[in-house]
Amino acid sequence: MKVIANVLTGVVALSHIGFLVLEMFFWDHPVGRRIFGMTPEVSAGSAALAANQGLYNGFLAAGLLWALWADRRELKVFFLGCVIVAGVFGSLTAKTSILFTQALPAAFALALGLVAARRSRS
Protein backbone atom coordinates (compact mmCIF):
# COMPACT_ATOMS: atom_id res chain seq x y z
CA MET A 1 0.00 0.00 0.00
CA LYS A 2 2.90 2.38 0.71
CA VAL A 3 4.15 1.92 -2.84
CA ILE A 4 0.74 2.84 -4.26
CA ALA A 5 0.55 5.88 -1.96
CA ASN A 6 4.03 6.97 -3.10
CA VAL A 7 3.15 6.49 -6.77
CA LEU A 8 -0.01 8.56 -6.32
CA THR A 9 1.98 11.23 -4.46
CA GLY A 10 4.39 11.26 -7.41
CA VAL A 11 1.46 11.69 -9.80
CA VAL A 12 0.25 14.67 -7.75
CA ALA A 13 3.77 16.15 -7.86
CA LEU A 14 4.00 15.65 -11.64
CA SER A 15 0.58 17.23 -12.16
CA HIS A 16 1.78 20.31 -10.26
CA ILE A 17 4.85 20.48 -12.47
CA GLY A 18 2.43 20.42 -15.39
CA PHE A 19 0.40 23.24 -13.82
CA LEU A 20 3.64 25.20 -13.36
CA VAL A 21 4.50 24.82 -17.04
CA LEU A 22 1.00 25.73 -18.20
CA GLU A 23 0.64 28.74 -15.93
CA MET A 24 4.16 30.13 -16.26
CA PHE A 25 4.95 29.42 -19.90
CA PHE A 26 1.75 28.68 -21.84
CA TRP A 27 -0.87 30.89 -20.19
CA ASP A 28 -0.69 33.59 -22.87
CA HIS A 29 -0.27 31.07 -25.68
CA PRO A 30 -2.89 29.31 -27.84
CA VAL A 31 -2.41 26.07 -25.85
CA GLY A 32 -3.04 27.76 -22.51
CA ARG A 33 -5.94 29.80 -23.84
CA ARG A 34 -7.57 26.63 -25.19
CA ILE A 35 -7.04 24.64 -21.97
CA PHE A 36 -8.32 27.43 -19.73
CA GLY A 37 -10.94 28.77 -22.15
CA MET A 38 -9.63 32.33 -22.34
CA THR A 39 -9.53 35.05 -24.92
CA PRO A 40 -6.16 36.56 -25.88
CA GLU A 41 -7.12 39.72 -23.96
CA VAL A 42 -7.90 37.80 -20.77
CA SER A 43 -4.75 35.69 -20.94
CA ALA A 44 -2.56 38.73 -21.61
CA GLY A 45 -4.13 40.66 -18.74
CA SER A 46 -3.71 37.84 -16.24
CA ALA A 47 -0.36 36.36 -17.33
CA ALA A 48 1.61 37.81 -14.42
CA LEU A 49 -0.90 36.45 -11.90
CA ALA A 50 -0.84 33.05 -13.59
CA ALA A 51 2.97 32.95 -13.52
CA ASN A 52 2.87 33.63 -9.78
CA GLN A 53 0.31 30.86 -9.36
CA GLY A 54 2.49 28.54 -11.42
CA LEU A 55 5.45 29.25 -9.19
CA TYR A 56 3.42 28.22 -6.14
CA ASN A 57 2.46 25.01 -7.90
CA GLY A 58 6.15 24.40 -8.48
CA PHE A 59 6.82 24.80 -4.76
CA LEU A 60 4.13 22.21 -4.01
CA ALA A 61 5.69 19.82 -6.52
CA ALA A 62 9.15 20.39 -5.07
CA GLY A 63 7.87 19.71 -1.57
CA LEU A 64 6.17 16.49 -2.64
CA LEU A 65 9.25 15.30 -4.48
CA TRP A 66 11.40 16.13 -1.46
CA ALA A 67 9.02 14.18 0.77
CA LEU A 68 9.22 11.17 -1.55
CA TRP A 69 13.00 11.35 -1.86
CA ALA A 70 13.46 11.68 1.91
CA ASP A 71 10.72 9.12 2.59
CA ARG A 72 9.33 11.32 5.35
CA ARG A 73 5.69 10.79 6.14
CA GLU A 74 5.26 14.14 7.91
CA LEU A 75 6.42 16.00 4.79
CA LYS A 76 4.05 13.99 2.59
CA VAL A 77 1.19 14.77 4.98
CA PHE A 78 2.06 18.47 5.05
CA PHE A 79 2.44 18.98 1.30
CA LEU A 80 -0.51 16.77 0.35
CA GLY A 81 -2.56 18.71 2.91
CA CYS A 82 -1.46 21.96 1.25
CA VAL A 83 -2.57 20.63 -2.13
CA ILE A 84 -5.94 19.56 -0.69
CA VAL A 85 -6.54 22.97 0.92
CA ALA A 86 -5.50 24.79 -2.25
CA GLY A 87 -7.70 22.51 -4.36
CA VAL A 88 -10.76 23.01 -2.16
CA PHE A 89 -10.19 26.77 -2.09
CA GLY A 90 -9.71 26.85 -5.86
CA SER A 91 -12.88 24.84 -6.41
CA LEU A 92 -14.85 27.31 -4.28
CA THR A 93 -13.36 30.47 -5.76
CA ALA A 94 -12.30 29.69 -9.32
CA LYS A 95 -13.49 26.46 -10.94
CA THR A 96 -15.29 23.44 -9.46
CA SER A 97 -13.22 20.98 -11.51
CA ILE A 98 -10.14 21.91 -9.44
CA LEU A 99 -11.61 19.78 -6.67
CA PHE A 100 -11.33 16.72 -8.92
CA THR A 101 -8.04 17.52 -10.67
CA GLN A 102 -6.06 18.63 -7.61
CA ALA A 103 -7.72 18.03 -4.24
CA LEU A 104 -9.12 14.54 -4.84
CA PRO A 105 -5.89 12.88 -6.08
CA ALA A 106 -4.01 14.44 -3.15
CA ALA A 107 -6.69 13.23 -0.72
CA PHE A 108 -6.39 9.69 -2.09
CA ALA A 109 -2.60 9.79 -1.78
CA LEU A 110 -2.85 11.14 1.75
CA ALA A 111 -5.43 8.56 2.81
CA LEU A 112 -3.43 5.67 1.35
CA GLY A 113 -0.25 6.96 2.96
CA LEU A 114 -1.89 7.20 6.37
CA VAL A 115 -3.42 3.73 6.08
CA ALA A 116 -0.07 2.30 5.01
CA ALA A 117 1.66 3.95 7.97
CA ARG A 118 -0.95 2.61 10.36
CA ARG A 119 -0.59 -0.91 8.95
CA SER A 120 3.20 -0.80 9.23
CA ARG A 121 2.90 0.09 12.94
CA SER A 122 0.55 -2.82 13.62
Distance of CA 95 to the CA centre of its chain: 15
Tell me how far apart the alpha carbons of residues 107 and 77 are, in angstroms, rounded to a whole number. 10
- Kindly indicate the confidence band of residue 121, based on its pLDDT and cuts at 50, 70 and 90: confident
Map out the domains of the chain as residue ranges. Answer: 2-121
pTM of the model: 0.92
Q: Can you spell out the DSSP letters for 1-14?
A: -HHHHHHHHHHHHH
Question: What confidence tens digit (pLDDT) does each residue in 101-114 have?
Answer: 999 999 999 999 99
Question: What confidence tens digit (pLDDT) does each residue in 35-86 have?
Answer: 989 999 999 999 999 999 999 999 999 999 999 999 999 999 999 999 999 9
Residues 6+ away with beta carbon under 8 Å from 63: 75, 78, 79, 82
